[in-house]
Amino acid sequence: MAIFPCDMCRKRYPGKSNSVYLGWMAGGYSDRRKLNLCPRHVEVVDAWLSKNLSLIEVGGVPQTDDVEISKTCESCGLEPTTQTWFANTYVRSEDPAVWARGLCEKCGGRVLQDAPQAA
């Protein structure tokens, strides 16, 4: 049984804990949060990550040749990057993964509204 309950449904679940660390930086402001997740909500957050961020590294192995954040929004490609989003995932039976993406204010606002939240 996991020591901490899932932050999204508040229920305890069998097995090891699954953790996702989400981070966001814009100008001089930053926010970082840790989510403990049950297997069902790991899938929800993984779908959100796949939709909104780019997979950079799995188990210490780079997944892309380009690991620098772009100077233009990586979503719309039109506006300058003003925000950086990143996440580290630690899911049982999987290698740790690193996700990141640079976004403009408009696209970053959309991602923020859609971001996983604790209950």
pLDDT in tens, 43-82: 999 999 999 998 888 887 777 666 677 789 988 988 898 9
Print the domain residue range for 77: 18-114
Specify if 44 maps to a domain.
Answer: yes
Specify if 3 maps to a domain.
Answer: no
Report the alpha-carbon distance of residue 112 to residue 87 in Å, rounded.
Answer: 13
Specify if 94 maps to a domain.
Answer: yes
Specify if 96 maps to a domain.
Answer: yes
Specify if 81 maps to a domain.
Answer: yes
Give the tens place of pLDDT for each residue, 75-98. 898 889 899 999 999 998 888 999
Instruction: Please give, one letter per residue, the 3-state secondary structure of 56-78.
Output: EEECCEECCCCCCCCCECCCCCC
Going by C-alpha positions, the residue among 102, 111, 58 that lies closest to residue 79 is: 102
Which pTM value belongs to this model? 0.84
Angle ∠(48,57,104) on CA atoms, nearest 5: 50
- Total domain count for the chain? 1
